[in-house]
Amino acid sequence: MEGELLDWLYARQAIQPGLERVRALIGAPPPFRVVLVGGTNGKGSVTASLDAAFRAAGIPTGRFISPHLSRFSERFQVNGEEVADAAIAQVLAELRPQAEQLGASFFEIVTACAVRLFAKAAVRWAVMEVGLGGRLDATNALDPALSLITQIGLDHTQLLGGTLASIAGEKAGILRPGRPALTAARGEALEVIARRAAELGAPLHTPERTTWSARSLGWSGWEVQLESAAGRLRYRTALLGTHGLENSLLAALAAQLLGLPGAAISSGLAATRWPGRLERIAWGERELILDGAHNPAGAAALARALISLAPLPLPLIFGASSDKDLAGLLRPLLPLASRIILTRALHSTRAADPADLLPLCQGKPVQVAASPEQALQLLSPQEHLAVVAGSLYLVGEIRALLLGGGTDPRRRSQ
């Protein structure tokens, strides 16, 4: 893609809450139906799973995710394929004059770009991952036929509030009057979402109101039997950990609510793969487990999965964004680490200095690496399995190193 165009876009990464600018960029309502997927963790895997179910049913779809791991084009898929760089560049160039006039931000422009790309491709449904929060997120300029909210945890508290209730209130902003909603939230977060759904007359569904059972297949995922008001379903999913199981349930229930055939749901869920989340990648004689756990809830979910799946303790390559709860991120992972290699994503503007993480390692053997590449080189020949976690940006850079692909060299925060 044209470098100057991406340079222009990346220079607009400041967060600007509000929907007026993106609504102006999008213009008329798009000629396809929309599912919005919000929440704290699990949004991407739910988005990918539901998109796969649509495609298995023969329905043309668009899928929008954020952030990308290695390539900007990962954000936009049509019928399961990344949109070509040339097509993305053309739409960005079309949007640029108006975006500059409006003072639109990076994510507002990217959201409008997704809408225009999907309209040009004549998709029937678009599954859109919410970026930050919900109420004021650019994706909320769309009018969803179904609103889906995954688990709620403490993240982006400086923008969304410091309690689960306040964060849930922001996430509940994607609900619509009379439209079905689905959530995996629990406790006070569920109470907030349920109250808002009742105010809007939005039928609210939860996995707890269904009957299901699951059998672990180890590193192959889960085999699930589900019975809901929409019928019985049996499927397999490669999503790992109990959180991956829950995300697959959300996608299955959403697909049922939208009337997709059971066979298509099962086929789509079985085919779903989600990179950078409990992903095992071979690297020479070694194997690495990559997981973009970037908040305390995500780190706790990773720890639970490792306890059930991996031989512990394991070396941990760790780097995180400076605006995160760094102690909370490390707390569940420290007991599982034989030693820690601290590093930082080179292309993230938010990456924490590894030196600032040293006091949080609580006596564990620690090394500091200046780059993700050096962190990999610090693994010893005897360490055949290691974990990489703490930041999606770090996971994206290490994943590219392991697979031999390049990463976008531009510094980014979104």
306-317 tens-digit pLDDT: 999 999 999 999
Query: In the prediction, which pLDDT does 1 show?
Result: 61
- Give 345's pLDDT tier (boundaries 50, 70, 90): very high
Which is more confident, 154 or 275?
Answer: 275
Tokens of 213: 């059972």
- 375 contacts 341 by C-beta, under 8 angstroms: yes
- Give 9's pLDDT tier (boundaries 50, 70, 90): very high
Phi/psi for 412 (5° steps) reads: -145, 160
Q: What is the mean pLDDT of residues 4-20?
A: 92
Beta bridge partners of 285: none
pLDDT above 90 for 154: no
The span from the CA of 35 to the CA of 302, in Å, is: 27
Query: In the prediction, which pLDDT does 410 show?
Result: 83
Residue identified by tokens 């808002």 is 196
Query: In the prediction, which pLDDT does 363 show?
Result: 84
Residue identified by tokens 């439209």 is 179
pLDDT above 70 for 177: yes
Phi/psi for 366 (5° steps) reads: -135, 140
Which residues neighbour 338 within 8 Å (Cβ) at sequence distance 6 or greater?
313, 314, 315, 316, 365
Alpha-carbon torsion, ordered 299, 302, 304, 305, to 10 deg:
180
- 287 contacts 313 by C-beta, under 8 angstroms: no
At residue 121, the 3 state secondary structure works out as coil
pLDDT above 80 for 157: no
- Give 56's pLDDT tier (boundaries 50, 70, 90): very high
At residue 31, the 3 state secondary structure works out as coil
Residue identified by tokens 């923008």 is 159
pLDDT above 70 for 340: yes
Query: In the prediction, which pLDDT does 2 show?
Result: 66
pLDDT above 70 for 356: yes
Q: What is the mean pLDDT of residues 48-60?
A: 98
Query: In the prediction, which pLDDT does 413 show?
Result: 80
The span from the CA of 332 to the CA of 51, in Å, is: 32
Q: What is the mean pLDDT of residues 282-294?
A: 94
Residue 332 preceded by cis peptide, ω within 30: no
Tens of pLDDT along 107-135? 999 999 999 999 999 999 999 999 988 99
Which residues neighbour 340 within 8 Å (Cβ) at sequence distance 6 or greater?
315, 316, 317, 318, 334, 361, 364, 365, 366, 367
Instruction: Compute the mean pLDDT over every residue in the chain, rounded to the nearest whole number.
Output: 95
Query: In the prediction, which pLDDT does 254 show?
Result: 98
pTM confidence score: 0.95
The span from the CA of 246 to the CA of 56, in Å, is: 21
Which residues neighbour 202 within 8 Å (Cβ) at sequence distance 6 or greater?
147, 175, 176, 177, 178, 179, 180, 181, 196
Domains delineated in the chain: 3-207 (3.40.1190.10), 279-403 (3.90.190.20)
Beta strands in 178-300 (DSSP E): 181-183, 204-205, 211-216, 222-228, 231-237, 279-283, 286-291
User: Strand 76-78 vs strand 61-64: parallel, antiparallel, or unpaired?
Assistant: antiparallel
Residue 311 preceded by cis peptide, ω within 30: no
Percent of the chain with pLDDT over 90: 89
Q: What is the mean pLDDT of residues 329-346?
A: 97
Which residues neighbour 83 within 8 Å (Cβ) at sequence distance 6 or greater?
73, 76, 77, 117, 121
Query: In the prediction, which pLDDT does 209 show?
Result: 87
Query: In the prediction, which pLDDT does 175 show?
Result: 98
pLDDT above 80 for 155: no
Tokens of 343: 């590093």
